[in-house]
Structure formats: C-alpha cells, structure tokens
Amino acid sequence: MSEYLETIGDYYRDSETNKHYAFDISDYQCGKSHFNINIRKYCNFNTPYNRRDFYKVCIIVGKGVFKYGEHRLELDRPALFLPCPTIPYQWECISSQQEGYFCLFNQEFLVEHSTIDFFKKTSLFKEWSKPFIFLDDEQLALCMSYFEQMYKMAQSDYPFKFEIIRNLLALLLHQALQLKVEDLKLEETPSNTRLYRLFDDLLNKQFPLDSPAYPLQLKTASDYATQLNVHVNHLNASIKAVTSKTTTQIIKDRLFDEAKSLLKNTSWDIAEVGYTLGFDQPSHFNNFFKKHAGITPLKYKSPY
C-alpha cells in the first residue's frame, strides 16, 4: 500500500491538475466542508498511485487502465468509479477521447448532513467493496444527468446550492447502490474482511445519537470485541490488516464526526454532547475535540 496520503490541498497544488483543470478553490479551507466538480476532458495523464483523505466519484466514458490496490483492470465501457480513499489507485489513459465528470468531497461534507452521512452505513467506499459499476445506455444517461445538474449548480450563485448538490449526489449514490450487484458476499470474503465488515456495521449502528438520555453504549475496542465474540487482539489485527488503522483510531474518528454533527445540528450544550458520546467529564471531551479539530468544541459550535 502507498505510504503517501494525498489531501485535497495536494490535489489542487498538483501541476497536472493545475494544467488541465480550472477549479474554483476560493472556498477551500482544510477541515471545512468542501465539494468540487469538473468535466472529465483531460485525462490523458497518469494519476499518482496514492491513498487519499477525500472521496472521489467519477463517471468514466473512455478507455483506460486502473491499478486499484493489488488489482489491475482495463476499462473499455462506461462506468461509475467510487474508490475507497484508503485504497491507493492510479489511472492510465489509453484512448484520447475521454468524457464524463468527476466530483470530490471531504469527510466534513459527507457527515455534515444526514442525506449523505447515511452512505457511511452502506457498502459504498469500503475496503471490501468493488469500486466499479458498469453502466448500460439508460443507466449512463441517468447518472450523467445527475452530474450535469451538480456541475451547473456548482457554477451558480444560488446561496443554497450545496443543499441541492447534496441531494443530487445522494440520488447518484442511491443509484449506485441499486446497481452494485457485483459486491462480494460476506461468506466469500477473507476472514479479516468479514470481521471488519461486522465491526463496521456494528459501529455505524451506534449512530446517529438522538438524545443525551441514550448515550453511546460501545466505546472501546474491547466493547466491540465482546459484542462480536472475538478476542480484542484478533479484532485489532484484522482491522489493521484491512484498513491500516487501529480499532481505536477508527472509533475515535467516528466519534469526532458525530461530535461535529451534534455540535452544529443540535441545541445541546457542550457537556451534553460530551456525555452522549461517552465522556464522563466535560474536560475529557474538550481535550479530545481540541486534539482532533485544533479548536475547542465551544469555538466550533459558535465560531462568531
């Protein structure tokens, strides 16, 4: 696996990206919700074989070769490409004629609204999930229409354009879920992946948190191992083999996502948010959030 993690900032600074695409990046700030989209006209250069810290969805019309993890696939028909960010991939163009669209968005955009956050509970963007969905003419036309509407809306001055874009992206991802008939079945996957899928499903079932009266129940790797009837060391080893992350790191990342959502979308005070997330002391939640966000929960909730 590639050791380099490409960020959205890295992507925008890349010389080939700057050469071929005129992205509007005026609103880009690291750690803030971000979405961008462009037409897939100039794909005759090789992309780096990297992992990413952002999501990318492409509709590809044109021939090329993808290296995705340990696999190599020659693309010769229209397809949706929904890669898992933690799997390194590389594109090599074969034909000069390339059409379609691609959009990219970060974790903050994904979890900021329940319409999009829902997809974290599905097979999309997961390490075990096949990233390609091949399209017939009717499916291609429908998916292209979603991208075209997102692209036009992204160019507009409408103040609520990102709400519309989120809904269009949700429609596109729902279409992808309907077409993902080639996903591996649970019993066909390696044991490490099976256990990770069960853990991931259990983790996502804990959220969203609806009330301080019902705080988070499973807080640690040991809690999840007990629920899954495995030793915590086995759980840790399996998850590390699939994701290159520790169980604790994944749990903390999900807690941080939920913390941001609760701070922005509820009227709960800081202590209530912390308690609901499993922090016994407000100071512990304050330290946890500041370590991940660089600012206090209060500053994040009320930035002005």
What pLDDT, on a 0 to 100 scale, did the predictor assign at position 2?
44
What pLDDT, on a 0 to 100 scale, did the predictor assign at position 301?
86
Q: Check if the beta carbon of residue 61 is closer than 8 Å to that of residue 78.
A: yes
Same-domain pairing of 195 and 55? no
Same-domain pairing of 161 and 205? no
What pLDDT, on a 0 to 100 scale, did the predictor assign at position 180?
77
Number of domains in the chain: 2
Same-domain pairing of 174 and 198? no
239: domain range? Answer: 186-301
Same-domain pairing of 150 and 227? no
Same-domain pairing of 23 and 153? yes
Same-domain pairing of 171 and 275? no
Same-domain pairing of 166 and 197? no
Q: Under 8 Å CB-to-CB from 274, ≥6 apart: which residues?
A: 281, 282, 284, 285, 286, 297
What pLDDT, on a 0 to 100 scale, did the predictor assign at position 136?
95
CB-based burial label for 226 (10 Å; 0-12, 13-18, 19+): middle
Same-domain pairing of 23 and 156? yes
Residue that finishes a domain, picked among 179, 212, 242:
179
Instruction: Tally the C-alpha atoms within 13 A of residue 222's C-alpha that lie toward its C-beta.
Output: 0
As given in the structure block, the two tokens for residue 71 are: 């696999």
Same-domain pairing of 220 and 154? no
What pLDDT, on a 0 to 100 scale, did the predictor assign at position 259?
92
What pLDDT, on a 0 to 100 scale, did the predictor assign at position 187?
53
Mean pLDDT by 10 residues, the chain (304 residues): 68 65 64 86 64 89 86 90 87 86 87 75 82 94 97 93 93 91 55 88 87 91 94 93 90 91 89 94 94 91 75
What pLDDT, on a 0 to 100 scale, did the predictor assign at position 1?
41
Residue that finishes a domain, picked among 131, 146, 179:
179
What pLDDT, on a 0 to 100 scale, did the predictor assign at position 184?
46
| CATH code of the domain containing 243 | 1.10.10.60
Q: Distance between CA 58 and CA 98 in Å, rounded? A: 12
Q: 99-105 and 89-93 as β-strands: parallel, antiparallel, unpaired?
A: unpaired
The C-alpha angle with vertex 111 and arms to 110 and 116, in degrees rounded to 5, equals 55
Same-domain pairing of 155 and 30? yes
